[in-house]
Amino acid sequence: MEVKRTAKETVSAKANAKSADWLESFSKRIEVKDTDYLRAFIEANHPADIAEVLEKLDEEEAFYVFRLCDSEKQSLILVEFDEDLQADLISRLNVHEISPIVENLETDEFTNLISEISKDKAEEILNSIDREDSSQIRKQLNFREYTAGRLMTTEFASAFETDTVRKAIIKLRRIAKETDDIYLLYVTDEENHLKGFIKLKDLFLAPLNQKVGRLVQEEVFSIHYDTDQEEVAKIFRKYDLVSAAVVDDLDRIIGRITVDDILDIVQDEASEDILRMGGVSEEERLNTSIWDSIRRRLIWLVINLGNAVLAASTVSLFEETIQSFVLLAALMPIVAGMGGNAGTQAITVVVRNIATGDLSPSNWGIGFRKECIIGVINGLTIGAISGLAVYFYLGKTALALVIFFAMLANLIVAAVLGASIPMLLRVLGIDPAIASSIFVTTTTDIFGFFCFLGLATLFLGYL
């Protein structure tokens, strides 16, 4: 009795997944093969919570628990894993074990999974399952990655315009048994051309013998299969959608996208932008291996090192000036650094506005003008503060003027580059988040050193 109670308390993944002690005791249960406990754990928890726990275990341990689940639970857990763990698990299972798992997946999940594993294994799996399913997956694999065609599931509820509400409900019931998240009934003509949709709740309100065509909402949010996923996410956000139809070139419905996938995309795209702007080249999560992390960061550090050497060689042009007035060596990083800070601010705002779609090549002029005005005003302010500080604390008028003008010039350069480089990269098809900051801070470093030391050299006699 006592044991049972303890088991019940510790069986909750949600409550315990973040506790290192609990995880350790869980590992121990696996080690001693306490299958009673583990089965109770699997039974009691949501697949997302189970997945969270398994991701924190050794791969061997995770695999042991995973094998204890039935195939339905296995598929629910599998889709929650990150890509590395998914691929690893699949490689440990033989085809006869995989088939029942993947057959429970929705087509988008299945396609996603197949695209991540080795070609041979993928082929083997596709040959082992129902032929209709596999031909569907093969078709979906032909769409470009990160487009609507890859995101969609092909399970959706639809009815013809000429159907009665009664008939539509019968069609809906059939599909409702297969798939879980149905929010809309799509309405098409007899050739599957999309005509609109009906919200499920409106079906409840309608008389059973009414024609479906009369209930249709005409604002159709149909998405072409080749639309980029970022664009798809924008459409969902703008129109507050829960589900949208995907159509082929002839405007015939071939699938639908649901909002839960969009939520993940918005989160992932934001993460990607944040990491790229911070100089980390690819998604890096807590469980990314140290070697992968190092590889992803080292490349940017080496590029930055090259840029720093460029900036340093600018400084070395002015060795004589520095020699005769060594205070300049202490002040020069201030001018360079402030340009970098102001440039980073401009880039951040512009890159974010590009990502959310507020800024595009057509209205770029507005953003550019704004950044320039901000650059001039912030340049005057920061230049004045620096100049006054030099004047009052060091009592040097000429040096105060040199730092004022150098700071002003560098902050204007930072603004101009910060506003234009991200847009330029975007037009060239390069992700502005990944490369903007390198260009801008290198330039503000070099220009900052050059401008400050150059002016100082010109007015060396007065310093």
DSSP assigned state of 288: S
Q: Which helix (H) or strand (E) holds 4?
A: helix 2-10
Binding residues among 204-223 for a copy of itself as defined by CB under 8 A:
204-205, 219
Size of interface with a copy of itself, in residues (CB under 8 A): 109
d(CA 155, CA 105): 11
**Radius of gyration, alpha carbons of the chain:** 30
Across the beta sheet with 158-160, what order do the strands follow?
A: 158-160, 184-188, 194-199
DSSP assigned state of 193: B
Distance in Å, CB of 394 to a copy of itself, minimum: 10
Nearer to a copy of itself, 213 or 279 (CB): 279
Nearer to a copy of itself, 254 or 382 (CB): 382
Nearer to a copy of itself, 149 or 387 (CB): 387
Q: Which of 95, 208, 305, 430 binds a copy of itself (CB under 8 A)?
A: 305
Q: At what angle do helices 47-55 and 59-68 cross, to 10 degrees?
A: 150
Nearer to a copy of itself, 2 or 219 (CB): 219
Q: Please, which residues bridge with residue 159 across strands? A: 187
370 near a copy of itself, rule: CB under 8 A: yes
Binding mask 33-72 for a copy of itself (x = CB under 8 A): -------------x-x---x--------------------
**Exposure of 42 by Cβ count < 10 A (0-12 exposed, 13-18 middle, 19+ buried)?**
buried
**Exposure of 118 by Cβ count < 10 A (0-12 exposed, 13-18 middle, 19+ buried)?**
exposed
d(CA 419, CA 411): 12
DSSP assigned state of 394: I
Q: Please, which residues bridge with residue 258 across strands? A: 243
Q: Which of 6, 25, 210, 381 binds a copy of itself (CB under 8 A)?
A: 381
322 near a copy of itself, rule: CB under 8 A: yes
Binding mask 224-263 for a copy of itself (x = CB under 8 A): ------------xxxxxxx----------------xx-xx
From the list 59-67, 94-102, 113-121, 376-384, the region that binds a copy of itself by CB under 8 A is: 376-384
Q: Which of 7, 12, 133, 279 binds a copy of itself (CB under 8 A)?
A: 279
Tell which residue, 414, 448, 455, 446, has the closest CA to residue 313: 446
85 near a copy of itself, rule: CB under 8 A: no
Q: Please, which residues bridge with residue 245 across strands? A: 222, 256
Q: Which of 374, 413, 419, 440 binds a copy of itself (CB under 8 A)?
A: 374
367 near a copy of itself, rule: CB under 8 A: yes
Q: What are phi and psi of 92, to 5 degrees?
A: -85, -15
Nearer to a copy of itself, 141 or 182 (CB): 182
How many C-beta atoms surround the C-beta of residue 405 within 10 A?
16
Q: Which long-range contacts (CB under 8 A, 24 or more apart) does 66-75 make?
A: 68/35, 68/38, 68/39, 68/42, 69/42, 71/100, 71/101, 71/104, 72/104, 73/42, 73/47, 74/101, 75/101, 75/102, 75/104, 75/105, 75/109
Distance in Å, CB of 336 to a copy of itself, minimum: 7
Binding residues among 335-364 for a copy of itself as defined by CB under 8 A:
336-338, 341-342, 344-345, 347-349, 351-353, 356, 358-360, 362-363
25 near a copy of itself, rule: CB under 8 A: no
Instruction: Tell me the HSE value of 223 on the side-chain side, using a 13 A CA sphere.
Output: 28
331 near a copy of itself, rule: CB under 8 A: yes
d(CA 349, CA 91): 43
Binding residues among 155-174 for a copy of itself as defined by CB under 8 A:
169, 172-173
Distance in Å, CB of 223 to a copy of itself, minimum: 13
Distance in Å, CB of 128 to a copy of itself, minimum: 28
Distance in Å, CB of 240 to a copy of itself, minimum: 4
Q: Which of 312, 427, 430, 458 binds a copy of itself (CB under 8 A)?
A: 312
Q: Which of 294, 388, 427, 458 binds a copy of itself (CB under 8 A)?
A: 294
388 near a copy of itself, rule: CB under 8 A: no
Q: Length of the chain in residues, anyone? A: 463
280 near a copy of itself, rule: CB under 8 A: yes
Distance in Å, CB of 191 to a copy of itself, minimum: 25
Q: Which of 87, 200, 384, 424 binds a copy of itself (CB under 8 A)?
A: 200
Contact yes or no for 403/409 (Cβ under 8 A): no
406 near a copy of itself, rule: CB under 8 A: no
445 near a copy of itself, rule: CB under 8 A: yes
